[in-house]
Amino acid sequence: MAHLDASGPTVAVVGATGAVGREMLAVLEQRCFPLRALRVFASPRSAGSTLPFRGTSLTVEALTDAWPAGIDCALLAAGSGISKTMGPKMAASGTVVIDNSSAFRMDPNVALIVPEINMHADNAHSTKAGTSPTRGRIIANPNCSTIILLMAVTPLHRAFGIERMVVSTYQAASGAGWQAMEALERETRDALAGAAPRATLFHEPYAFNLFSHNSAVDPATGMNVEEQKMLAETHKIWNDPSIRISATCVRVPVMRAHCESVNITLRTPATLADIRRTLAAAATDPNYGGIRILDDRPANAFPTPLKAGGGDDVLIGRLRVDPSQLPTPPTATLDTTPTRGFDMFIAGDQLRKGAAQNAVQIAERIFTTAKR
């Protein structure tokens, strides 16, 4: 394999033939991650197939119960069942496991990490476990919609405090993997050919339709699993269970990149200029970055899935004061009035920052920092 780094880690991508696994390979290549070696694993039916990487081909190995020695880091994109079974075995062998599934996110002994926001949580967990910074533990990747949300609002939380958020998500097919992306394409072709709407994967037809997120709904609360994740994961990542959050998660007929409408109530009043200035500073901060303001009112140019798709940044736009939180009706001075209520619309690539990119960034922080 070309472009190897003898001082880098040996990395494995597990679930490498899936949508997120393939994106992990693309991100490792595009970010020039320093690798001693790279191995790719998938189910036995994919064993022997090849995947492109840095101008050559990687042969897919079958994942078995016998985890091989000598792998420093494993990026898991194979589902929660495999993660629960194999993750502890991998960690016990000395591998740092960065898991993209929901298996360990709410485990109090596992750090749930967005590197720009709370990489220190991994340091606390590894120190508590008495492990080396580059040896043997599990780190959880948050849910895609949570990562995209928190990248946009954490700078505001740090500057002014956030008391409450109301979030509505518009989630793309990519969040449910290749099967969902293929279903959207198939159903769209059928609809354009004049066929009656027909559900081929989800509980509702997908083409030219949108519906409540396909995760299970709790009959007691009425919340689906995706909405529950957003609440619980935000509380854990920010280490603040007092934040009040109401979420409505919806699947939309978009191929990739999630969008979210966000209404926030700050603890400390601010003006719209304060909000813009805070976000702009975070966007250029070498310790944060990963966000970009796209908010052109005269041109009606704001974040969209097509603009966010394939990119590394979470796009932030439709920045405005929430008039419902002002004591008087809106006036010409709306943008200069200090207030606690603001609205925004954001978009981020679910396969990249919402999954693969976030995992690779965690690995970068662990292994490149240790190398220095």
3-state class of 270 per DSSP?
strand
CB contact at 8 A, 148 and 354: yes
Active-site position among 125, 157, 213, 258? 258
Backbone angles phi, psi at 302, to 5 degrees: -140, 175
Q: Is 203 a catalytic residue?
A: no
Q: Is 125 a catalytic residue?
A: no
Neighbours of 211 (CB within 10 A): 15
How far from the centroid of its chain's Cα atoms is residue 160's Cα? 24
Euclidean distance between CA atoms 265 and 321, whole angstroms: 10
CB contact at 8 A, 16 and 42: yes
Euclidean distance between CA atoms 87 and 105, whole angstroms: 13
Structure tokens at 298: 């005269």
Active-site position among 73, 144, 249, 259? 144
What are the angstrom distances between the C-alpha of 281 and each of 33, 93, 124, 137, 347? 27, 42, 27, 34, 19
Residue with tokens 């075995």: 89
Euclidean distance between CA atoms 20 and 176, whole angstroms: 10
Helices (H), 247-348: 272-284, 305-308
Helices (H), 130-268: 144-160, 178-192, 225-238
Beta strand spans in 184-324 (E): 211-212, 244-251, 258-270, 291-293, 314-321
- Catalytic amino acids? 144, 258
